[in-house]
Amino acid sequence: MRETIVAALKKIEEDYDVKVLYACESGSRAWDFPSKDSDYDVRFIYIHKRNKYLSIDPMGVGKKRDVIELPINDLLD
């Protein structure tokens, strides 16, 4: 499963042009009480390239979001 998670994080880096600095498992598996159908909850901290941070939000304050939200599937959250 580790390989699947690492591959998913690498894809996120490519798709969103970010660098993942830290990733950890959360949820029932992290607390050591998974059920037989538990998914893998992974949370991560990332950074953008410098120019992204130095850019101006053309739509006004608050319109430029800095979050990566992906759909949950049966295996990864």
pLDDT tens profile 55-65: 777 766 666 66
Neighbours of 3 (CB within 10 A): 7
29 pLDDT exceeds 70? no
Averaged pLDDT, 3-17: 90
- CA distance linking residue 41 with residue 26, whole number of Å: 5
Calculate mean pLDDT across residues 35-47: 81
73 contacts: CB under 8 Å, gap ≥ 6: 39
For tokens 């390239």, name the residue. Answer: 49
What are the residue ranges of helices labelled H in 1-77?
Answer: 2-16, 50-53
Please say if the pLDDT value at position 66 is more than 70: yes
- Contact indicator for 44, 53 with CB cutoff of 8 Å: no
pTM attached to this predicted model? 0.70
Whether 40 shows a pLDDT value over 90: the answer reads: no
